[in-house]
Structure 1
Amino acid sequence: MRYYILLMLTSLLWAGNFVTGKFLVGHASPLTLTDLRWAIADIFLVPVVWISDKKLFPPLRALVPLVFMGLTGVIFFNVFTYLALTRTTPDNVGLLSALNPIAIAIASFIFLKEKLSVRQVIGMVVSLCGVVVVVTKGRISGLTHFQVNSGVWLMLAAVGMWGLYAVASRSAMKYVSPYMATLWAGLLGVLFMLPFDLPKLTSVQLNTPFWSSILYGAIGGTVVAMILWNIGIQRVGETKSGMFLNFNPIFTAALAYVLMGETVHVSQIVGTLIVIAGVSLFAIPKAHKRLIRQAA
């Protein structure tokens, strides 16, 4: 159960990233923001890895999955998401991001031969329905106007990248800790981005709110969140961890209400309950059965 709580906290931290991101995109390019955020995060991750692992360098056999983590989770997921936002509405992007758990399940099935039970499939569907209720504010009929444009395809590509990132994370953490995996995925991602970012490095109004938001994104929304996410991947698996991504739009709505004064609709409360029911159906029963077997 404690790992499920950690995954809930991960979702909350990422939701904070979305809220601060609305402010940051007006100050620098998406590539620059991603590069800067991960560069700062790596600085903070170095002492964490040194204290926990007593070393900074991974074994060579971990290099390939770490490279894939950097490419898929650090670079392509963020780049595709930002590009999608320039070509379609945030509602469309938010709705498609709810497919992340399904992408993880499919990637795990294809590459790791991880099976899904009927109960888990039902839990995925129920949770996805809850996210749809939240994103559409209860106006399900609005899905009929969901146009398949280039932004939709880009966001689908981002979702696919996240599924691949989850699988790469599991492979990397056969050889390194979640802390080292996060550090090296970030370092490799930054190194890959720099040649493309430096020639076009542009930013404006680098004031205190900007740096406060960047530091939150680097420390809370990247270092802490990615460590907790990788721990979740390691302890409960890709598919179960992915189910908790469905809380992202819900926590985002709550933080937007508290920090930005946005209205919370009844549909968001209903959608939250549906998501919780779906996640519980997917993950909790199996943990409960383990407790029963241990007690016996």
Structure 2
Amino acid sequence: MPVYYYILLLSTSFLWAGNFIAGKYLVGYASPLVLTELRWVIALIALLPFILLKEKTLKFPKKALFPLIGMGLTGIVLFNLFMYLALTYTTADNVGLISTLNPIAIALLSFLFFKEKLSAQKYIAILISLIGIMIVLSHGDLQKLIQLKFNVGDIYMMIAVVCWGLYSILGKVAMRTVSPFLSTFWSGMFGVIMIVPFIVKDLEITNPPPSFWVAALYTGVGATVLGMVFWNIGVKNVGSTTAGMFLNFNPIFTAALAYYFLGERMGVAQWIGAIIVIIGVYLFTNEKLLSRLNLVGNKVVEKVPQ
């Protein structure tokens, strides 16, 4: 049965990689908040029949109210706002790569809010991942690293990662009493409501071609409804940390799609940084790796003649 959930999480990574590509295209026609609202209005309309068919109700327990509102603020409003801002200023490749830090953000925030312990291996993995991210953000330019001169779009995506971490741990709380479908629906609904006051006087989409609406439908139905439901089902059944491991595929899928649709190419420094980040995240999510290596090492030592 776990294989089924792993397939769902791998599909989530592919769908979200496609979202970065579609988002890079959409930011040329509307503001980040308008795009977020459009994405989630489409998503809620598409999600409603599934809710009514599977859940038979839209009700949720009162104790889930504040976690769902928090999910709406962090995962719907703030994450999408900073993601679209990031795509305005940096490449889809970089956005996809930085998103691999999500499992680390989830675990660090779980440590801060739920006192979940971090092992020595996790601290080492965090350090490795941060080194990789610094290489990516500076494009291997030591001078930029020393002077802390980074692309503002990359910084926006780092903030988006923190927002996603908050969304995920709030989702863990909400889904103690609410299904993945309902948590996705109501977090989206609360997020849409929160955005309305900020766009009501500036609801503008500049000369959108038919391809704009195709991309918008993809972000709303594919990347949002299917992606978010797959993610929530995965988190509920295998845990947020294990689910986060599958986000390591984001940069791989994003790089392939960005090359095909946008003509983007990652430089040597970005590839080196990407490999280091993925190694760090893999170490972070594979808690028993070092202990296994130590065990193997001890067995080898025992076999050496004295």
Normalised to the residue count of structure 1, the TM-score between the two structures is: 0.81
The residue number in structure 2 matching 1:249 is 251
- For residues 213-270 of structure 1, the C-alpha deviation after alignment (integer angstroms, 9 at most, x for no partner) is 0011011111111112222322333334334444433322221112233335555655
Identify the range of structure 1 (239-248 vs 188-197) with the bigger mean alpha-carbon deviation. 239-248
Give the secondary-structure state (helix, strand or coil) at the position aligned to 2:149: coil
User: For 1:231, which of 226, 230, 233 is the aligned residue?
Assistant: 233
Offset, 1:104: 1.6
User: For 2:51, which of 43, 49, 52 is the aligned residue?
Assistant: 49
Partners of 1:91 and 1:136 within 8 A in 2: no
The residue number in structure 2 matching 1:294 is none
Offset, 1:203: 0.8
Partners of 1:132 and 1:140 within 8 A in 2: no
Distance 1:279 1:4, change over 3 A: farther
User: For 1:202, which of 201, 204, 207 is the aligned residue?
Assistant: 204
Distance 2:277 2:82 in 1: 25
The residue number in structure 1 matching 2:165 is 163
CA RMSD in angstroms comes to: 3.3
The residue number in structure 2 matching 1:35 is 37
The residue number in structure 2 matching 1:118 is 120
The residue number in structure 2 matching 1:78 is 80
Amino acid in the other structure paired with 1:260: L
Offset, 1:191: 1.3
Distance 1:139 1:237, change over 3 A: farther
User: For 1:143, which of 142, 145, 158 is the aligned residue?
Assistant: 145
- For residues 27-58 of structure 1, the C-alpha deviation after alignment (integer angstroms, 9 at most, x for no partner) is 11211110011011011111222222232221
Distance 1:52 1:189 in 2: 23
Distance 1:227 1:140 in 2: 41
The residue number in structure 1 matching 2:60 is 58
**Count of matched residue positions in the alignment of Structure 1 and Structure 2:** 287
Identify the range of structure 1 (9-18 vs 212-221) with the bigger mean alpha-carbon deviation. 9-18
Offset, 1:156: 4.9
Distance 1:166 1:25 in 2: 25
Distance 1:150 1:219, change over 3 A: closer
Distance 1:111 1:31 in 2: 28
Amino acid in the other structure paired with 2:194: F
Give the secondary-structure state (helix, strand or coil) at the position aligned to 1:199: coil
Q: 2:108 matched to 1:106? A: yes
Distance 1:32 1:130 in 2: 33
Distance 2:278 2:159 in 1: 27
The residue number in structure 2 matching 1:292 is none
Normalised to the residue count of structure 2, the TM-score between the two structures is: 0.79
Distance 1:129 1:209 in 2: 38
Identify the range of structure 1 (217-226 vs 144-153) with the bigger mean alpha-carbon deviation. 144-153
Give the secondary-structure state (helix, strand or coil) at the position aligned to 1:281: helix
Distance 2:134 2:10 in 1: 19
Partners of 1:80 and 1:158 within 8 A in 2: yes
Offset, 1:9: 2.6
Offset, 1:20: 1.0
Distance 2:7 2:212 in 1: 30
- For residues 106-164 of structure 1, the C-alpha deviation after alignment (integer angstroms, 9 at most, x for no partner) is 21012122222223333444445455555656556653353279877755543332221
Distance 1:219 1:234, change over 3 A: same
In structure 2, runs of 5+ residues without a counterpart are 292-306
Partners of 2:133 and 2:273 within 8 A in 1: yes
User: For 2:27, which of 22, 25, 28 is the aligned residue?
Assistant: 25
Distance 2:71 2:208 in 1: 30
Identify the range of structure 1 (195-204 vs 61-70) with the bigger mean alpha-carbon deviation. 195-204
Distance 1:10 1:123, change over 3 A: farther
Partners of 2:171 and 2:183 within 8 A in 1: yes
